[in-house]
């Protein structure tokens, strides 16, 4: 099929096999899923802690030219007057 938003991306879907229906199975089901790539708060990482980043400081990111990722505590302590957004995983 063609997935086209101006880029003409084409995919070929190939049926590999047909199997009998498992009557005891729960359908539909997820057979594979991408794992989220979690990123950690950079302030906490400097202190040897692995705390999941839940915020990105837009003001600092624009100033430094990179993503400045922070946890809830670090946003409250040092960036509460900055524009921040949720990090989506």
- pLDDT tens readout for residues 66-80: 999 999 999 999 888
Please report, for residues 29, 49, 57, the alpha-carbon distance to residue 79 in angstroms, rounded to integers and kept in the order given: 42, 19, 7
Domains of the chain: total: 1
Asked if the model's pLDDT at residue 7 lies above 80, the reply is no
Query: What's the first-to-final CA gap in the chain, in angstroms?
Result: 28
Write out the residue range of the structural domain in which residue 74 sits. 37-89
Q: Please give the model's pTM, rounded to 2 decimal places.
A: 0.60
> Would you state the structure tokens that stand for residue 74, as one six-digit string?
């670090």
Predicted confidence (pLDDT) per residue in 20-55, tens digit: 888 888 888 887 888 888 999 999 999 999 999 999
Residue-level pLDDT at 28:
84
CATH number at residue 79: 3.30.160
Evaluate whether residue 16 is within a structural domain: no
Say if CB 79 and CB 70 are below 8 A apart: yes
């Amino acid at each position: 099929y063609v997935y086209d938003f101006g880029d003409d991306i084409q995919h070929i879907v190939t049926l590999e096999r047909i199997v009998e229906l498992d009557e005891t199975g729960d359908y539909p089901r997820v057979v594979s899923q991408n794992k989220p790539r979690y990123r950690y708060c950079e302030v906490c990482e400097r202190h040897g802690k692995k705390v999941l980043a839940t915020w990105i400081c837009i003001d600092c990111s624009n100033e430094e030219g990179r993503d400045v990722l922070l946890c809830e505590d670090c946003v409250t302590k040092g960036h509460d007057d900055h524009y921040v957004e949720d990090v989506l995983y």
